[in-house]
Structure 1
Amino acid sequence: MLDTPSAEVPVLSLSDQERDPDAFAAAFGGSFERFGFAIVADHGVPQPLIDRAWAETEALFALPEEEKRGYFVAGGGGARGYTPFKTEIAKDAKHVDLKEFWHVGRELPEGHRFAGNMAPNIWPARPEGFKDTFIELFAAFDRAGDRLLSAIARHLKLAPDWFDPAVKDGNSVLRLLHYPPIPVDAEGVRAGAHEDINLITLLLGAEEAGLELLDRNTGRWLAIKPPEGAMVVNVGDMLQRLTNNVLPSTTHRVVNPPPERRGHSRYSMPFFLHPAPDFLIETLPGCVTPDNPNRYPQPITAHDYLHERLVEIGLIKK
């Protein structure tokens, strides 16, 4: 078995937010400041919907390779539809990641002002019901994300609805991930050490061992082991930049399984919560102090920042 020690990331209940929003915000923000990660139970995404989504994710990736590749958009940066096995590479990594994935984005009405920045979704012919399931799941993740951003705003001494206009029509992405069985002589790991690009990531499926974070205090890798059904939430680079590193975007990875699990697939569903493309990422004044001067004096739009990072990880070619 993997012998990586576990991270002491607290398990919080989002249901506590209604009873005592300030206490929940303090606990959630404190976990972010210490680890860049939090574990959230009672997140409000319905379990029957999650179960349906897992079944359809497995069915999707079980389709013939040729059929899946019919949904791959060359030069599309992996924004929508299918991205084949061994395409994405972590920044500065030597080997590509051992994974394939599918992206679902926000459904925009015709003529929407962000239509030029946010590609339309690609929906597979099978499995049946896929579109309805993942439109519903996207909306459920959106609602949970709004509640968590409200807690972050409170923790930062901002108005609880501070993030609402920033993420209205945000360029969020729901990623369905499949890590196939690993051969003994596999080069690389399922997902190389990296940080996420967005504001926060909401992840289902981390119960299967493999997800690890790099502890900034000790330099050690620590395993993340949430209880069944809980959501792992982590800080992305956009939030780190916005908060002048008060909330750190922590390096993490997905390591290969122990020998007895190498014949098994691993599935997960991260929801990368992004602001709208025209949101200006500008350091929050309350996060600048004499001991923590502004590290990011030059603001940048979310769209431009995302493009820079997609080039770095090989999803967009220069």
Structure 2
Amino acid sequence: MWDWKSLQHFQSRFMKQIKLLAIFAILILPSSISYKQPFHYYSYKEMEEFLNEMEEEYPEIMKFYSIGKTYGGREIYVVKISDNVSIDENEAEVLFMGAHHGNEKLGYQFLLYFIKSMCENYSKNESVAYLINNAEIFVVPMVNPDGVENNTRKNVEPNNCIGENIFPILKGVNLNRNYDAGWNEWRPWYFLSTTSTPYGDLILYFLDFPPEYRGEKPFSERETKAIKNFVESRNITIAIDFHTGAGKIIFYPFGYTDKKKPKDLEKFISIAENISSINGYDYAEAGEGVIGMAIDWLYEKHGIYALIIELTRNVAPRDAEEVREIIQLNLPVMHYIINRAIEEKGRI
């Protein structure tokens, strides 16, 4: 059993190791790693410029607007792609989200490429035209724009944690732990990884230890409130939340418990299997122990078939060729998801 003294000792040693690793990275990594073709991820400002350009060029099928504002004063934008884009039609609705975790940059970059691909091919490709004519496609490229700009997993709103002005890791809330799904499922430990330590084969954290801090209450954060209000104003059928860092894998609910399964488990497996047949990724239940996830809330509270797609192991790949391959591999997945939503809408 862990007593409080042992825990304090472990956390003290862990923080020392983190500092040493940071110093090592600063001194060694820039001179020892080189990338043949470094990929450029858009900044928040570049995303705004891109969206403005796309709306100016394709006003009949694409528009974007703000659904909220962050602590840092940045707008949280949603993009709508559909024929008759200014009208809410009785069509299937899909939602794609990226950058719940601001350092996971490939998710939003992929979604920006998807937006461009759909708009450019509307008049050239019958399959793309069919999807846009029969669905309302919503994209939130950056759920966490403050995190993107600061390259942090969490948002940057102060959480009154002692030392947060000294150690950035202490600041902010993990937005994908702030949704009202299993949020109160308190556990004394959170299993972060299987990295070996002097204390065993697991790194142990309190559930609310800063890297995974869930916030003071569900939807305490401006960003998750914005998503909540938007979702509750729509009638979404399928939602995909893009992440990186956990490998190439598809997750479906639930993440906060393994004691119950989705009542639509067969449908989730069907969707995951079809995605897997396109991109070759593995698929699995999100697994017990991850509270407050968007996909769990979307399904449990609203009946939306919501899944996570982890695009790659690297949080933000720098090799341009690798990024290109991941994007090309997953664009057909987007077409499948929209078409599946249209089919589901037709069954109602």
| TM-score, normalisation: structure 1 | 0.28
- Of structures 1 and 2, the one scoring higher in RCO (CA 8 A, sep 6+) is 1
Whose Rg is larger?
2
